[in-house]
Amino acid sequence: LAVGWGSGMDTAWAPSPGGCELVQSIMDCIGRWLSSIPANLRGDTKELFLDDNTIQVLGNASLLLYPQLWHLSLNRNQLQLIEPGAFLSSQGLQVLSLTDNQLFTKYSLTAAALSALPALRMLDLAGNQLTEDMVSVLVSNLSSLESLSVARNIIMRLDSSTFTNLTQLLELNLEKNYIFEIDNAFEGLQRLQRLNMAYNYLPCLVGFGLTQLRVLNISNNVIEWFLTLESDDLFELEVLDLSHNRLLFFPVLPRQSKLHSLLLQDNRMSFYQRLPNGTSLANVTVQFLIIDGNATNITTVRLWDELCHSNLSSLRLLDMSQNQVWGLPDDFLAQMPSLTHLKLNQNCLEAFHLSEEDPLAMLIELDLSQNQLVELGVKVGIGDILPNLQLFNLSTNKLQALPPGIFTHTRKITTLDLSRNRVDLCPQPDKAKSLPCVDIRGVETLTHLSLAGCGLQGLGGRPFQGTSLMHLDLSDNCQALSGDLGWLQDLVLTLQVLSLRNTSLSSTPVDFSALNSLVRLDLSGNSLAAFPSSLGGLRLRSLDLRDNCLPALPPDVVRVPLGTSLRELYLSRNPYNCCTLGWWDALQQAEGLRVPDGREVTCSHGSHRLSPGALPEPVLQSCRWQTADLALLYLVLALPTCLTLLVAFVVIFLMLKEKLLRMVKTRCGVSSPY
């Protein structure tokens, strides 16, 4: 239960006796190893937080000194007992949080203490190993209660005696119990608006009739059927969460409701109006046998027709992902004119057809990913279809093309995911003009495009002309960069994020220098043996170079414009040379630059793989020899040889001096005394 700290937070925290801290009238004693409530705190304390201590008993005199208290939190203590007179001096207490304690031990005495709180509005008893009988006793006299949480207990069955007298209750949390049966447990809660029964063991919900309820969460149960009472009453229901259950059919909803969010994710749901082999079951009915005490009713339902009896005109979000839907009933979407988000991903759809009869004029997001789609049928040219669509996810299907002109009607589309389909972009080369393709040229609103894993065979013919792409994913296309790279020129002014992961990019130069707007570039999973020099002038914020063949980065990498702008650099799984790590040291000193995978970066020295930040001394010495100045090395090696030759020349000269002089005299004919 969260309660605001109020205004005026300019008051500084001040130490208080007992190691607690005080700000205004709020006392923080969390995690102070307290075994009881301190008796020397400020008397005007209004909010007291004692979470994460070791308090076992809240005695009759524990709160006598704090008559103005309205919020008390004792979460995660060892509380076993609240004595009957503990709250007699705190009649104004409105919020009480007692989660993760041991109140099951002496719950009847604790119930007597709670009954002395006439103003209590919010009570949290989660995680106290309480049964349904214990809960009934604890809350039996709390008629002022507006919010109750008994989550994470051991409640198994609810009946009409569990929540008696809670006439003001607005919110009830029963999640993470063991509830498998409900018998008229909520009929007396006439003001209840929010009910959470997620993570229980309910097998079905039949005869739902809580007309005042606004939010119902029964996700993560084992529900196979959800049937609403046949009634023309207006249900206030706005959000219904049936996700992660075992629903076999689309739920039978109220005929009149305010439902705007219906969550049916991860069930076993399908429609049986028409089977995949074309067989029609339109006239087949299903009978439900409902036993209520001694009364037995048989209800005959045509589940696909029951949809028409439910008013879904206010529905905005429908999530039917992770089911077994292979087709939608006729006019199913026509009942939802206000729908803005439709999720049908991870189903068995082989075809999806849109027509003027199902315009989905308000739809913003359509997710058809991870199906078996081989055809997307759209009747184009009659009227607007999907005029407000912004996000269109078709990834992981079997599509080869989209209907021609589909984007002439989707005038607001910004994001298109075609990844992992066997599609090509138009225009095709002359020899392949007859092959199907997807034409996005001239779609000015398109900013995010994913073509990962599409088997692209090059992108000739300027397929992005007239677009304003900011994010482009071409990863997992081994031949995407083969041929003419002129398509990059159409994205110079707008492209900010480019993924070329696993595109067989090698040392063949790709000129990135013109992409001045680029801020994130992924070159991982390629065969780069040298750092692309054209990156030096870019001002990227993030660069991914993982899984390449780089022996080193340029030594001046931190001084070029790229180095000064980079904030995130991924470098692992490259065969760096341990003797050329000057660039690594420079990166460690670069201000504001982060290497998230720095601990995974290794370098090679011989057959060893080492961490560049902790090289052994023998490796460092070996590297010094390998990286020494070769001119100096040659000089050191040549000097002894030169000295030897010089000495030999001098000796020979001295030995042959007289003979040489006579020879000169004889030849020149000039006498001179010896």
The answer to whether residues 99 and 71 touch, using CB atoms and an 8 Å cutoff, is no
Residue with tokens 């060892």: 78
What value does the mean pLDDT of the chain take? Answer: 87
Could you write out the DSSP letters of every residue in 541-600? SEEE--SS--S---TTTTTSHHHHH--EEE--S--EETT--HHHHHHHH-TT-B-TTGGG
* Element of type H or E holding 263: strand 261-263
Burial (0-12, 13-18, 19+ Cβ within 10 Å), 484: exposed
Residue with tokens 């315009």: 359
What is the share, in percent, of the chain residues with pLDDT greater than 70?
A: 86
pLDDT one-digit tens code per residue, 522-547 = 999 999 999 999 999 999 999 999 99
CA–CA gap between residue 289 and residue 484 (Å, rounded):
68
What is the share, in percent, of the chain residues with pLDDT greater than 90?
A: 62
**CA distance between the termini of the chain:** 121
Question: What number is the average pLDDT over the span 288-307?
Answer: 66
pLDDT one-digit tens code per residue, 175-187 = 999 999 999 999 9
- Among 299, 179, 320, 183, which Cα is nearest to 240's? 320
Specify the pTM: 0.84
* Residue-level pLDDT at 10: 37
The answer to whether residues 410 and 392 touch, using CB atoms and an 8 Å cutoff, is yes
SS3 content of the chain, % helix, strand, coil (to 5): 15, 20, 65
- Among 120, 164, 171, which Cα is nearest to 150's? 171
CA–CA gap between residue 112 and residue 533 (Å, rounded):
78
- Among 72, 82, 164, 163, which Cα is nearest to 128's? 82
The answer to whether residues 477 and 452 touch, using CB atoms and an 8 Å cutoff, is yes
Q: At what angle do helices 630-655 and 657-668 cross, to 10 degrees?
A: 70
pLDDT one-digit tens code per residue, 67-112 = 999 999 999 999 999 999 999 999 999 999 999 999 999 999 999 9
551: which DSSP letter?
Answer: S
The answer to whether residues 240 and 262 touch, using CB atoms and an 8 Å cutoff, is yes
The Cβ of residue 280 has, within 10 Å, a number of other Cβ atoms equal to 10
Torsion of CA 422, 427, 432, 437, to 10 degrees: 30
Work out the pLDDT band at 304, boundaries 50, 70, 90. Answer: low
Name 114's Cβ contacts closer than 8 Å, sequence gap at least 6.
Answer: 82, 87, 96, 120, 123, 138, 139, 141, 142
pLDDT one-digit tens code per residue, 238-287 = 999 999 999 998 999 999 999 999 999 999 998 876 555 556 566 667 67
pLDDT one-digit tens code per residue, 476-490 = 999 888 767 778 888
Question: What number is the average pLDDT over the span 376-393?
Answer: 80
CA–CA gap between residue 344 and residue 369 (Å, rounded):
7
* Residue-level pLDDT at 674: 40
* Residue-level pLDDT at 480: 84
Lowest-confidence pick of 211-225, 412-426, 454-468, 514-528: 454-468
Query: CA–CA distance from 560 to each of 32, 68, 539, 591 (Å)?
Result: 52, 64, 9, 14
Work out the pLDDT band at 6, boundaries 50, 70, 90. Answer: very low
The answer to whether residues 359 and 383 touch, using CB atoms and an 8 Å cutoff, is yes
The CATH number that domain 9-120 falls under is: 3.80.10.10
Work out the pLDDT band at 413, boundaries 50, 70, 90. Answer: very high
The structure tokens listed for 541 are: 């914020």
The structure tokens listed for 389 are: 């669509």
Query: CA–CA distance from 623 to each of 424, 581, 583, 604, 627 (Å)?
Result: 50, 10, 15, 12, 6
* Residue-level pLDDT at 11: 37
pLDDT one-digit tens code per residue, 364-375 = 999 999 999 998
Work out the pLDDT band at 358, boundaries 50, 70, 90. Answer: low
| pLDDT at residue 16 tops 70 | no
| pLDDT at residue 208 tops 50 | yes
- Among 356, 358, 301, 300, which Cα is nearest to 329's? 358
* Residue-level pLDDT at 432: 52
CA–CA gap between residue 212 and residue 192 (Å, rounded):
7
